[in-house]
Structures are given as structure tokens and as C-alpha cells.
Amino acid sequence: MLDTIELVKPDLDEGKLDIEEFEYRSEVKPTWCPGCGDFGILNATFTAMKQKHLNPKDTVCVSGIGCSSRFPFFVNTYGFHTLHGRTMPVATGIKMANPDLTVLAFGGDGDGFAIGGGHFIHAARRNLNITYVIMDNSVYGLTKGQTSPTSRLGYVTKTSPAGSVDEPLNPLVLALACGATFVARGFSGRPKEVSELIIQGLEHKGFAFIDVFSPCPTFNKVNTFKYYKEEVTALPIDHDVTNKLKAIEQASSPKIVYTGVFYKAAESHSYEEHVLSQRPAVQTDANTLLGKLFAKYS
């Protein structure tokens, strides 16, 4: 473990900014298809934002490209709808430029694990202090239904008419292997549970990754609401969230699809803390952005 300074995470409850849930909703109406799972995640996010008294002027929602990545348009905070797969680099830049901001990232399994897969790995291992919600529908929705990295083996689409020959990746095991310090899974059909996971992610200091099953009724006729309702089960009450090996085991269970918090590191120092702790070792020009940042936090 590196010697590092301790950045005090602002106590979000302290400001007691009493904003009603509907005030987090922007004037832009969601453009998702009726019945899309992404609605449940949007509503769960509003609930979490209210419960944590997030101040819209100190909050940024970042996304890539995809149906799910339209998310920032629908939320009354700052937002950044970036390039496909570049959610993590932009979120990193925002957080490093102003560590006081609460940064939430949203996007699809294609955006996060295919084109953005490399960035996901490094954001997780750096332990950036952000909350990343993947709206996982196991398909490319926006481009009309191709396979994604979480599509199951044999999944039939117009571009894989004989069935996908790729093994799906396991987002939770990937995140755990890459060093994410908070790893959870939810289902958009249970928005209350999702909002609780987002609240815990916001409270965690470090990279909080939440994979949420979010059915796409238009293009994915396999991973439906009905399918998940029958498949998902809450993690056992006695699950030890500090046991990473157990988390990997539960996340890769071939029989049971668990939801809940799989892992939360007992100790977690964020990327910002490490970078800022190196301040004396870095020659800074007070006029550069880095210099100003160091001046602000010295």
C-alpha cells in the first residue's frame, strides 16, 4: 500500500439539500421504447440522488453512446454524453480536474465492455472515486440488436443467425479481477434494490461498479423481465462482502444468479488521493491546470 493523503469524502447527508425526486428529472423526456429496463434504473437513480441530497450543481452524469447512454439528457445535473466507449476517460478527467464533484457514469454493456473494455479495466484498477452503472441488456440496442460481450452463447441475431459463438464475459468477475473496490449487481425490475445499490456506491470511496440487468424488450427476446424475475436471487444475508474470493465464487455461480453487494474492500484509497499525495514530488507551474489543482488541495 502506498503512503497517501486522505481526502475526506464530503458527507452528502450534511448539506441536507432537500430536493424532491422530480426535480432531478430534466425537461427532456426519455426516448427509450415503452417497457425498456432503463426506465427502472433512471427512477432508481432519482431516488438515490434525493436520499443522498445530491446538489445538481456538484454532480456530473457521464455516458458513452447507446440507448442507455442517453441517460445524462434526462437528469437535471451536469452531464457529458461522450464518444462510444470513452465514458471512463472522460469521467476520469472530470474527477481529477475537480475531485469535489460527485461523478456518476452510465452506459451499456457494449459501451463499457466492448469498445470501452480497455478503459474499464484501468478505471477499476486505479480505484477512481466514481460510481459506474452498467445498464446491461446483453445486446446492442441502439444499433438494432447485435450481440454484445454479455450475450449468451448461441444467441441469435440478424448478424449471428446461426447463434453467437462467443462465450459471454462475466462483468462482476472482470471488475473484481481488475481491482474494483465495490462490486454489485441489480435488476431494473427491482428499482428499490437498485437505488440502494447506487446509494452504497455513492457512499463508497473508490471505484463503485454496479451491473444492472436491464431488459431490452425490442431486441432481446431471451433476457426478458420474466426471465430475470425467475432467475435472480438476493445474495445470502451472511455473505461476507470483504471476502473477494467468495465474491468471485458467488458471481460465477453457474446455478444461481445473485444480486446485491458482492464485494466492498475493507480499506480503499482512491486514485485522487494517490495522485494528490505525490504533490511535493512533482514540479508544478502554478499557471497550469495541475498547478492550480495542487494549490487548491494543498
Q: Which positions from 85 to 114 touch ligand TPP by CB under 6 A, shown as an x/- string? A: ----------------------xxxxx---
Total Cβ atoms within 10 A of residue 235? 19
Q: Name the residue type at position 160.
A: S
Report the residue from 7, 12, 24, 32 that binds ligand SF4 according to the rule CB under 6 A. Answer: 32
Q: Name the residue type at position 216.
A: C
The strand ranges marked E within the chain are 59-63, 78-81, 102-108, 131-136, 182-187, 208-213, 232-234, 257-264
Of 128 and 212, the one with the shorter C-beta distance to ligand TPP is 212
What residues from 216 to 245 belong to the interface with ligand SF4 (CB under 6 A)?
216-219
Q: Does 141 bind ligand SF4 (CB under 6 A)?
A: yes
Closest by CA position to 160, among listed 168, 150, 151: 151
Of 62-70, 120-128, 195-203, 221-229, the window that binds ligand TPP (rule: CB under 6 A) is 62-70
What residues from 47 to 86 belong to the interface with ligand SF4 (CB under 6 A)?
67
Report the residue from 7, 12, 36, 235 that binds ligand SF4 according to the rule CB under 6 A. Answer: 36
Report the residue from 24, 47, 82, 84 that binds ligand TPP according to the rule CB under 6 A. Answer: 84
Report the residue from 26, 51, 98, 143 that binds ligand TPP according to the rule CB under 6 A. Answer: 143
Q: Please enumerate, as own/partner, the contacts of 53-56 that have beta carbons within 8 Å and a separation of 24 or more.
A: 53/12, 53/13, 53/15, 53/16, 53/17, 53/18, 53/19, 54/12, 54/17, 54/19, 54/24, 54/102, 54/202, 55/15, 55/17, 55/19, 56/19, 56/24
Q: Does 155 bind ligand SF4 (CB under 6 A)?
A: no
List contacts with ligand SF4 (CB under 6 A). 32-33, 36, 38, 67, 137, 141, 216-219
List contacts with ligand TPP (CB under 6 A). 65-68, 84, 107-111, 115, 135, 137, 139-143, 148
